[in-house]
Structure 1
Amino acid sequence: MELETPFPYQLVGADFLASKAQALLADVMGLGKSAQAVRAADLIGARDVLVLCPASVRINWLREFTRFSPFDRPAAAVLTGKDGVPTSGVVVCSYDLLATEKVRKALMAVSWDVLVLDEAHYLKERGAKRTKAVYGYNARTPGLASQARHVWRLSGTPAPNDASELWTHLKSAGIVQDQYWDFVYEFCTGFNSDYGFRITGHRNTDKLKQLLAQFMLRRTKEEVMTELPPIAFHEVTVERSAVELDPVFYEQTRLKTPDQFFAELKLADNTLRQALKTVSGAKTPGQDKLKILEAMAGSMVTLRRYIGMAKLPKVCEMLDSELAMGLIDKIVIFAVHKDVIEHTRQRLAKYGAVTLYGGTAPDKRQKNIDRFMTDPKCRVFIGNIVAAGTGITLTSAHEVAFMEADWVPANNAQAAMRCHRIGQTNPVRVRFFSCEGSVDEEIMTTLRRKTAELAKIF
């Protein structure tokens, strides 16, 4: 697999991390903090790397090492508390699993070259179990951070609410010795209430900036704008979730029992895998795979729909977190199937989600587009790739997510360009979400690459 080339600012970030035993990389979302951490691990010759992250991105972290590192490290993710816990190479574990004594003890028994704390704001609460498991319970009971030569924190929002949330990171890094309340009184303003001290603002910000400068690097998109492409395409792999089958699935396939249904799905999956495998060694494997996808699209409708529903929960979980944290303002989500669109709308309804697909009433189509373009409270637009892929403008967003992709790459390119057109003032990031452990991974990789090529034309 050909390695992806980092941007110049990512090389600077990797050098920064590699030079620090304790560090916080606070680049805003979308600048590729994980890629910088992977390169930094390579720079220091790290073999044993532990990545702690939200559950929804465990599999994608494994892919990041494949995409950006030439080192042949063993790599595995801890998916349940019952799993065996790897003790060498790249190990990816969720913060939630640290509550499992078996997992925590196994990880504590290893001397890690690097501990990467992805979305480090998950550790902002000093009393939370996961914070204690990482940074230590007390002087006598250290946490995982004590087992690593390098501890690198990654977060675009290290203090989502106020400066007090920086204390856990600064304290664990040895930059401040103050106890929590001493830190709060020095850097926060507020008042005593019936519920305790209420923080209302900040003070001594110059001193706080000096403390942060000892271990933090932060860049905004505006600062690196000249290095970013106007539109960039990425692939994100998520874990599959169980799908609650409805009668429509059975009606479409004329199968009466779940066993028959899953047997048919497995057959379709194997047939598609074998067909794609036959052209893997061809001179133009990508183009040949597209021909196979185009030829088999009609016979794979149920499998495609099932995969779309299987990855939907984890994708929505990730996007929900990004929207809630303010990491993204607005987003356009594309899909193929109506039920994938509607289930996505239901999960993201609190962000004023609107939809556009074949069944959308004509009088509502333009209303939904206009609302997304003008209403700050309408932060999510979910459209069918064909119905919403041409003739409309969605430049109020510069984030695009393909929950599902059309097997005709030109349709995907046209859809993505709804955000990348006249009126757009920001670089556009397009993410293709693939379902781990399924043929969808290979398909989405092929479609992403071809879509990116075609986007240069449109």
Structure 2
Amino acid sequence: MARPGQRQTGARRPAPRDQRRVRDRGDVISVLARAVRELEAAARRGRVTPAVRTEFQAVALLVRQQHARILAEENSSPTHRAEQLKRLDGIATILAKTAVRAPALLTLLAEDAVVSDAARSLARDMLPAAEAEPLPEEAPPAEPVAAPAASERRVVPQSVVSRQLANPFLAPDFSAAPQRTSRPHRLAGWELLGPLLSSFERAGAGDSACTALPAPSSLRAPEGRQLMPHQAQLVAAAAAGRRTFLLADEPGLGKTAQALLAAEAANAYPLLVVVPNVVKTNWAREAGLWTPHRPATVIHGNGDTIDGFADIVVVNYEVLDRHVGWLGDFGFRGMVVDEAHFIKNRTSQRSQHVLELSQRIRTRTARPLLMALTGTPLINDIEDFRAIWQFLGWIDETKPLDELMEALEETGLTPADPGFYAAARRCVIDLGIVRRRKVDVAADIPARRIADLPVELDGPAGRSIRAAERDLARRMVARYETALAARASDGVVEGIDHDLVRRVARWELKDATTGEAGENVFSMMRRIGQAKAGLAADYAAQLARSAGKVVFFAKHVDVMDAAEETFARQGVRFSSIRGDQTPTSRQRNIDAFVKDPDVAVAVCSLTAAGVGLNLQVASNIVLAELSWTDAEQTQAIDRSHRIGQTEPVTAWRIIAAQTIDARIAELIDSKAGLAARALDGSDEEVSSSADVQLEALVALLTDALSASPQPPAGSPAGPT
């Protein structure tokens, strides 16, 4: 006999033994937790039987039902409700990842999928007796998030589609969005945006533009990392409940780490990070260092390689137009905009997309974390503040929004009162403007530091470089195997013969030096420098706008030429210091950089300008190409880090990720440590450039040999 409310479907075969559930085995969430683990194990074994499919659909149905029931409970405490929802979310996440692993399960959650009678019956059997209740005859399918049709270029990556299909019961919950109520304001009849902007123009010299921050919290950084006091202050502010920041610290003060840990303190996940192309790889790297338990994914092109289940999604401005549709419906609880002065032109497409995403997040999420990061919020004039303030939700197109308006109301002043401008400026700053200079926190940071900035080499140039690196490795492997096969059988070494590896690397280096080899380590490094030139110059231009004068170092003339073309195209004035200049021309260019405030960048040859120059007018250096020794690198940095320098110096090394460039950077650093220990400050080199070149080839060959099984050293390399 059917229970009340249950549809009579005629004779029904008993469920298999492994599908039956005893009703008194605890609460329904515990039952679901056990079931989903069984499903996960079955999917891993590749055993997606009809019984597994039925149980999968039954669990999904119950998760949806329990989620709705908990939200509707009126007599449950907020703490208990939050705990129950968190448990359900954990079950749903496992279920979703299981569905992605097994396409046969993923199809059960498609929009047109029908819940089978067997799944509905099993769902009833899984309910504990105390919680058993009639299930709805047909659960309405969740509407998948579709990309807007406004732009033909817009895409929805397959990984995101999979997430949506696998997680219809975990669709973004916008029920907690703030409910704004309009009430009359004393200042409602006043035009306020103009006076607010003017209040910053009227500020006297030395007036602080930094809100009060709490004392550093006891937040523990990941192992091997350490927060500086000024960084910990901002994180403490986020932990205390502040949710909007215009973080305008000077470059080199760790804004990326502050943003990532502020998101952790605010639990602002999923987190959207919008950045310039040149730093998006670095954001993923920094996320791995500072929030290693939070998966991060980077959107390249159409997003074919992204992880739809990641906690941190990094996208660059240049491809934002393709992804703004699904990003707006993803359910982000936080958004960071790096180099926020990129959105200063509110009529530009990039600005409109950023503001659109911010608006969606603010209207759908209760107290989201919004952070604008820039070393220079003002590029041309005070109007540049508008777009940033609008992104943060402080103003809209015509007026201050609630929080700022209430702060202005509390002053008791109007724009007609003399004290209004100072008070209004303070109201804006207290919403979350944070500005520290290097000189302000000099005690926190070292006097000289090197910061690596990894970049991805996309496009044909990047593919060609990686292919050339593989060809070089294959050539050395063939040489190694030939030498191994020709050697006598005595002296057999198990695994890789590292002595032979070093000999092969020396042969390759000798051929490269004499020009007998084809593609070699020197030509590859030159090609990598050419591919990095535009990205390095773009970053130097950003630094120049943010922090003043920048020294740009490169090894090769064609890299310097490419950088100068980029500066000219962006309207950045520069002077060029090269080895082929006459002494008079060289000095004229040096004087232009040092004395002319409009000359923002000195483009210098690493070999010709690495000695004999005093460029302490700049505290930021960009190393577009790596030198072969730490001493050469240090000499370049010391053009700015010398007597007369009043600020800590930061050298930004542009590193081509996933190439031999990254390996060489590690080798230079290791040789630097050896020199420091052995010489204790001596200028004499412990290692030569040939040491780094050799070790780079050794590492390349060793990695290639490790990637494939090797015969015992001394035995024939191929079939006998």
1:115 matched to which residue of 2?
Answer: 335
**Conservation of the 8 A alpha-carbon contact between 1:133 and 1:144:** no
TM (norm. structure 1) is: 0.76
1:408-428 deviation digits (Å, cap 9, x = unpaired): 111111221111111211211
- In the alignment, the residues of structure 2 paired with residue 327 and residue 85 of structure 1 have an alpha-carbon distance, to the nearest angstrom, of 31
Alignment partner of 1:53 is 2:275: yes
1:215-264 deviation digits (Å, cap 9, x = unpaired): 2222222321222211111000123255789xxxxxxxxxxxx99x9865
Distance 1:449 1:215, change over 3 A: farther
- In the alignment, the residues of structure 2 paired with residue 408 and residue 273 of structure 1 have an alpha-carbon distance, to the nearest angstrom, of 27
- In the alignment, the residues of structure 1 paired with residue 654 and residue 256 of structure 2 have an alpha-carbon distance, to the nearest angstrom, of 17
1:73 matched to which residue of 2?
Answer: 294
Match of 1:305 among 521, 526, 536: 526
Distance 1:354 1:168, change over 3 A: closer
1:221 matched to which residue of 2?
Answer: 438
2:590 matched to which residue of 1?
Answer: 369
- In the alignment, the residues of structure 1 paired with residue 362 and residue 454 of structure 2 have an alpha-carbon distance, to the nearest angstrom, of 27
Alpha-carbon shift at residue 453 of structure 1 (Å): 8.2
Match of 1:37 among 239, 259, 265: 259
1:121 aligned partner, one-letter code: H
1:173-208 deviation digits (Å, cap 9, x = unpaired): 4545xx53456xx99xxxxxxxxxxxxxxx824313
Q: SS of 1:381's equivalent?
A: strand
Alpha-carbon shift at residue 272 of structure 1 (Å): 8.9
- In the alignment, the residues of structure 1 paired with residue 284 and residue 671 of structure 2 have an alpha-carbon distance, to the nearest angstrom, of 23
- In the alignment, the residues of structure 2 paired with residue 22 and residue 131 of structure 1 have an alpha-carbon distance, to the nearest angstrom, of 18
- In the alignment, the residues of structure 1 paired with residue 223 and residue 272 of structure 2 have an alpha-carbon distance, to the nearest angstrom, of 24
1:4-37 deviation digits (Å, cap 9, x = unpaired): 4221111112222343223322222321111111
**Conservation of the 8 A alpha-carbon contact between 2:271 and 2:311:** yes
Alignment partner of 1:342 is 2:561: yes
Match of 1:11 among 232, 236, 254: 232
Alignment partner of 1:267 is 2:461: no
Match of 2:575 among 339, 351, 354: 354
- In the alignment, the residues of structure 1 paired with residue 597 and residue 476 of structure 2 have an alpha-carbon distance, to the nearest angstrom, of 43
Alpha-carbon shift at residue 150 of structure 1 (Å): 1.9
**Conservation of the 8 A alpha-carbon contact between 2:344 and 2:384:** yes
Alignment partner of 1:207 is 2:424: yes
2:176 matched to which residue of 1?
Answer: none
2:615 matched to which residue of 1?
Answer: 394
- In the alignment, the residues of structure 2 paired with residue 81 and residue 150 of structure 1 have an alpha-carbon distance, to the nearest angstrom, of 26
1:282 matched to which residue of 2?
Answer: none
- In the alignment, the residues of structure 2 paired with residue 372 and residue 130 of structure 1 have an alpha-carbon distance, to the nearest angstrom, of 33
- In the alignment, the residues of structure 2 paired with residue 272 and residue 115 of structure 1 have an alpha-carbon distance, to the nearest angstrom, of 47
1:9 aligned partner, one-letter code: H
2:452 matched to which residue of 1?
Answer: 235
1:134 matched to which residue of 2?
Answer: 354
Alpha-carbon shift at residue 318 of structure 1 (Å): 2.1
**Conservation of the 8 A alpha-carbon contact between 2:555 and 2:605:** yes
Q: SS of 1:212's equivalent?
A: helix
1:300-351 deviation digits (Å, cap 9, x = unpaired): 110000000111111112222333xx31322112222221122223322454
1:442 aligned partner, one-letter code: R
Q: Compare the two structures and name the one with the higher strand fraction.
A: 1
- The one of the two structures with greater contact order (alpha-carbon pairs below 8 A, sep at least 6) is 1
1:57-110 deviation digits (Å, cap 9, x = unpaired): 1111111112333x333222111135355432221002332211xx22322232
2:482 matched to which residue of 1?
Answer: none
Distance 1:413 1:454, change over 3 A: farther
**Conservation of the 8 A alpha-carbon contact between 1:268 and 1:303:** no
Alignment partner of 1:322 is 2:322: no
Unpaired segments ≥5 residues, structure 2: 1-221, 406-419, 479-501, 514-519, 684-720
- In the alignment, the residues of structure 2 paired with residue 222 and residue 352 of structure 1 have an alpha-carbon distance, to the nearest angstrom, of 26
2:181 matched to which residue of 1?
Answer: none
- In the alignment, the residues of structure 2 paired with residue 442 and residue 38 of structure 1 have an alpha-carbon distance, to the nearest angstrom, of 27
- In the alignment, the residues of structure 2 paired with residue 2 and residue 409 of structure 1 have an alpha-carbon distance, to the nearest angstrom, of 27
Match of 1:97 among 305, 319, 322: 319
Bigger Rg over Cα:
2
* Greater mean alpha carbon deviation, residues 263-272 or residues 302-311: 263-272
Q: SS of 1:425's equivalent?
A: coil
2:657 matched to which residue of 1?
Answer: 436
- In the alignment, the residues of structure 2 paired with residue 262 and residue 25 of structure 1 have an alpha-carbon distance, to the nearest angstrom, of 37
2:710 matched to which residue of 1?
Answer: none
* Greater mean alpha carbon deviation, residues 402-411 or residues 71-80: 71-80
Count of residue pairs brought into register by the alignment: 404
- In the alignment, the residues of structure 2 paired with residue 379 and residue 273 of structure 1 have an alpha-carbon distance, to the nearest angstrom, of 47
- In the alignment, the residues of structure 2 paired with residue 273 and residue 37 of structure 1 have an alpha-carbon distance, to the nearest angstrom, of 45
Distance 1:321 1:366, change over 3 A: same
RMSD: 3.8
**Conservation of the 8 A alpha-carbon contact between 2:268 and 2:369:** no
2:290 aligned partner, one-letter code: F
- In the alignment, the residues of structure 1 paired with residue 254 and residue 476 of structure 2 have an alpha-carbon distance, to the nearest angstrom, of 33
**Conservation of the 8 A alpha-carbon contact between 2:263 and 2:369:** no
1:256-282 deviation digits (Å, cap 9, x = unpaired): xx99x98655423667999xxxxxxxx
- In the alignment, the residues of structure 2 paired with residue 230 and residue 367 of structure 1 have an alpha-carbon distance, to the nearest angstrom, of 29
Alpha-carbon shift at residue 440 of structure 1 (Å): 1.3
2:372 aligned partner, one-letter code: R
Unpaired segments ≥5 residues, structure 1: 188-202, 246-257, 275-287
- State the identity as a percent: 27
* Greater mean alpha carbon deviation, residues 379-388 or residues 345-354: 345-354
Distance 1:339 1:330, change over 3 A: same
Q: SS of 2:643's equivalent?
A: coil
